[in-house]
Structure 1
């Protein structure tokens, strides 16, 4: 069974329940959808103003027909260090910060055979991004 990721994401956008996003037509939501083909896991430490450990997963793949994204970076941080997700046109990368408590679940998701990272920009500055998988 072939999955039409464009239709799948459009259905998710239409089903969003938060206002004012629920009133936006899926065609009004700018989106970037990455079909994940490969992943690189990194564990590191850094020292600038404070010492901290870092954990991230970089995913690469091919963009959906309506997208240009080719890479995603999922960073795991304590909840106090989270940042809003964003897409950067210059390097075609989605950046997503998740609470470190979700790392095991993300690792489980990345073992699924169908994996997508996507981000949507709604009118009114609402941004949503997620790792979307199917076993």
Structure 2
């Protein structure tokens, strides 16, 4: 079994594999006047998180999860337009970054009002066993 962290990004969805048994900090921030939404679920029904909010440098989510063997996570990023309907964001990603025993992955979303890719930011971080 591969217990290395990795992710793939397609459209407004990211598939994320995290090492089993570590405590992962999930932090979600916004930098937009438009309402941002990020949902994080796993394939086995243990994790079902949704964070929604607006504002500059605003933390809208701060939780911890502990992946189990075989779990795969899906993060979906959306924003509301002037009509109030949620639309898919565009994504970019980085990591995992390994600094000693500290590890981090980042996914950033853009809603199209500029090109700074910071409208929603998902940070996943953990320490190795």
Alignment TM-score, normalising by the size of structure 2: 0.27
Higher strand share: 2
Higher helix share: 1
User: Highest CA radius of gyration, 1 or 2?
Assistant: 1
Higher RCO, Cα 8 Å, sep 6+: 2
